[in-house]
């Protein structure tokens, strides 16, 4: 929810003069107390400010350092931080996949069919399992090794970076393909990017450094 200019001014007043009463806020704005009653209620509900009886208003959780970082992560979209996808087709071999992993310095590859629709994903762990002690592994089709699309955790470009991080933690994965539906078909996905734990670490470092510098 986007705050109005008056609500933003109220937050700044609370930030500078907390604890401050509703009457003092109204006086600073040059309006009556009843006029800002709804603004104060909205700001308290959203966590920007809080109130103590007989004391006044002070900053809420959203305005603390942890709250601001959380809010910034919510506002940041996956499409703002994702990397380009590293894709191979189903007819590629395990050897092709190993080369692609090391050339691209990534932990997983997204697998697509001939039309570019997501069909699976293969990780370094998957390749290690099939190659160790198997001299003929190099020629095995990647479609025989990959994790099928129905079992893959994905994320959309418009989801928040925070939600993406939670998905990775909940499913214990190091990265996810970023996908969009093909013509609205929820069973067919086009791969548009990838997001990894490294992305999330970089985001936290950048946001934390930016906050400390303010």
Nearest CA-CA partner of 87 in 109, 104, 103, 102:
109
For residue 104, is pLDDT > 70? yes
| Higher per-residue pLDDT: 89 or 1 | 89
* Section 44-73 average pLDDT: 79
Q: Tens digits of per-residue pLDDT, 139-190?
A: 999 999 999 998 999 999 999 888 898 899 899 898 999 999 998 888 899 9
Between β-strands 147-148 and 175-182, what pairing exists: parallel, antiparallel or unpaired? unpaired
* Section 47-64 average pLDDT: 85
Q: Tens digits of per-residue pLDDT, 30-50?
A: 999 999 999 999 999 888 899
* Residue 67 pLDDT: 60
* Residue 61 pLDDT: 77
Name the band, by pLDDT with cuts 50, 70 and 90, for residue 214: very low
Contacts of residue 202, defined as CB under 8 A and 6 or more positions apart, other chains included, come to: 81
Q: CA dist 28 to 31, 39, 71, 137, 178, Å?
A: 8, 15, 28, 75, 48
For residue 63, is pLDDT > 80? no
For residue 213, is pLDDT > 70? no
Judged by average pLDDT, the poorest of 58-72, 84-98, 178-192 is 58-72
* Residue 123 pLDDT: 92
CA angle (117 as vertex; 111, 118 as ends), nearest 5: 40
Name the band, by pLDDT with cuts 50, 70 and 90, for residue 68: low
């Amino acid at each position: 929810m986007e705050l109005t200019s008056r609500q933003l001014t109220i937050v700044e007043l609370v930030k500078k003069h907390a604890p401050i009463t509703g009457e003092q806020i109204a006086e600073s704005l040059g309006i009556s107390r009843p006029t800002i009653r709804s603004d104060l209620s909205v700001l308290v509900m959203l966590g920007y400010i809080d109130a103590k009886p007989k004391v006044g208003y002070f900053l809420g959780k959203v305005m603390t350092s942890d709250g601001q970082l959380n809010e910034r992560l919510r506002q940041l979209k996956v499409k703002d931080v994702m990397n380009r996808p590293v894709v191979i087709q189903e007819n590629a071999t395990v050897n092709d996949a190993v080369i692609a992993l090391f050339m691209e310095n990534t932990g997983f590859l997204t697998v697509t069919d001939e039309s570019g629709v997501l069909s699976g994903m293969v990780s370094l762990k998957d390749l290690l399992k099939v190659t160790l002690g198997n001299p003929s592994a190099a020629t095995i089709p990647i479609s025989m090794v990959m994790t099928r699309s129905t079992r893959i955790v994905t994320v959309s470009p418009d989801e928040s970076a925070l939600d993406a991080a939670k998905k990775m933690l909940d499913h214990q994965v190091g990265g996810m393909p970023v996908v969009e539906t093909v013509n609205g078909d929820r069973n067919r996905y086009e791969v548009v990017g990838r997001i990894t734990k490294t992305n999330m670490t970089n985001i936290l470092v950048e946001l934390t450094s930016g906050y400390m510098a303010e």
